[in-house]
């Protein structure tokens, strides 16, 4: 059996393909967090209190006019677009980690919310959505009566 050495024309032809494979693997695994879950844009936090749910989303570089929010049943949908930065003539990217283009996130809420009372505010690249619970889903205190 004859072994090929990693030198000469054959090796030079192999390295560009290996480099592309390496870059693609970095891109794929770079989209995963430490738990192995694919990351999504925008990154969100969701919590609830006794009266409402709150969702915050990191959205640097997204204009408020490019954000759409909808609530249907117990599902919140957050969509929009991050537009590319305009480079001046002669400028080129050396590294571009922030993605541009359309995005969509769908979040199943653990409680029912009143879609008529949902509010959203955008400050310093963070979107904050407040989703008031419907009265029937709010926790209530039950009085215990002595018999």
* CATH code of 44's domain: 2.60.40.790
Domains of the chain: total: 2
Confidence of residue 67 (pLDDT cuts 50, 70, 90): very high
Same domain, 58 and 103: yes
**Tokens, residue 95:** 């590294």
Q: Is residue 147 part of a domain?
A: no
Same domain, 31 and 76: no
* Angle subtended at Cα 141 by Cα 135 and Cα 147, rounded to the nearest 5 degrees: 135
Same domain, 47 and 21: no
Same domain, 78 and 21: no
- Arithmetic mean of pLDDT, 106-115: 90
Higher confidence at residue 104 or residue 13? 104
Q: How far apart are CA 62 and CA 125, in angstroms?
A: 7
Q: How far apart are CA 129 and CA 57, in angstroms?
A: 8
Q: What is the CA radius of gyration of the chain?
A: 24
Same domain, 63 and 128: yes
Q: Is residue 50 part of a domain?
A: yes
Q: Which residues, listed in sequence order, are joined to residue 54 by a DSSP beta bridge?
A: 47, 130
Same domain, 12 and 81: no
- Arithmetic mean of pLDDT, 101-125: 92
Same domain, 18 and 52: no
Higher confidence at residue 135 or residue 7? 135
Q: Is residue 94 part of a domain?
A: no
Is residue 59 predicted with pLDDT exceeding 90? yes
Same domain, 113 and 132: yes
Say if residues 81 and 96 touch (Cβ distance below 8 Å): no
Range of the domain at 113: 40-85+99-138
Same domain, 22 and 81: no
Confidence of residue 17 (pLDDT cuts 50, 70, 90): confident
What are φ and ψ of residue 113, in 5° steps? Answer: -125, 160
Q: What is the pLDDT at residue 7?
A: 52
Please state, for a pLDDT cut of 90, what percent of the chain lies above it: 48
Same domain, 103 and 134: yes
Q: Is residue 146 part of a domain?
A: no
Mean pLDDT of the chain: 82
Same domain, 13 and 71: no
Please state, for a pLDDT cut of 70, what percent of the chain lies above it: 78
Confidence of residue 118 (pLDDT cuts 50, 70, 90): very high
């Amino acid at each position: 059996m004859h072994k090929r050495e990693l030198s000469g024309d054959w090796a030079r032809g192999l390295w560009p393909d290996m480099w592309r494979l390496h870059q693609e693997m970095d891109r794929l695994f770079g989209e995963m967090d430490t738990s192995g879950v694919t990351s999504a844009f925008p990154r969100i936090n969701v919590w609830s209190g006794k009266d409402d749910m709150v969702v915050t989303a990191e959205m640097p570089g997204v204009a408020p006019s490019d954000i759409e929010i909808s609530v249907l049943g117990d599902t919140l949908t957050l969509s929009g677009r991050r537009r590319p930065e305009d480079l001046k003539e002669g400028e080129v990217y050396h590294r571009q980690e922030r993605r541009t283009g359309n995005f969509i996130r769908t979040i199943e809420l653990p409680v029912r919310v009143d879609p008529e009372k949902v509010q959203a505010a955008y400050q310093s690249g963070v979107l904050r959505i407040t989703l008031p619970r419907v009265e029937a889903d709010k926790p209530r205190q039950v009085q215990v009566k002595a018999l």
